[in-house]
Amino acid sequence: MKDNSELIDSLLEKATNYGKTNLELLKLQAIDRTSDKVSSITPIAIVITILSFFLLFANLGIAFWLGDLFGKIYLGFLVVSALYVLISLIIYFFMRKIIKQTVYDFVIRHLLK
């Protein structure tokens, strides 16, 4: 009877150790995946930020230049904003499905990686 008790205790101890080890492995895998995603997003975020500043100042320059050509500064800003509305409408009506599918595929590919 004592042997059975010792076997059960040994089995319970091994099962507990297995559970702890499995939990630790899951934690490490989650940390690995998270750090992988963050490290791949960070350079993209930096480039997007720099490009955003470039586009902001380029648009301001174009708006002031067009305003100078038209004789009124606000007309330059209206032309630039109208251009963005036109581009937005074109993207919405003609490229929305393509962009949606591309982003969908990108997210799925990275989540399953």
Q: How far is CA 83 from CA 12, 13, 28, 35, 72, in A?
A: 71, 70, 49, 40, 18
Contacts of 99 (CB under 8 A, 6+ apart): 91
The per-residue pLDDT for 33 is 83
| 59 closest CA partner among 51, 71, 47 | 51
CB 66 within 8 A of CB 75: yes
pLDDT tens for each residue of the chain, 113 residues long: 567 778 888 888 898 999 999 999 999 988 888 888 888 888 889 999 999 999 999 999 999 999 999 999 999 999 999 999 999 999 989 888 888 888 888 888 877 76
Predicted pLDDT at 96? 84
At residue 1, the pLDDT reads 58
Question: Which residue reads 């509305």 in tokens?
Answer: 85
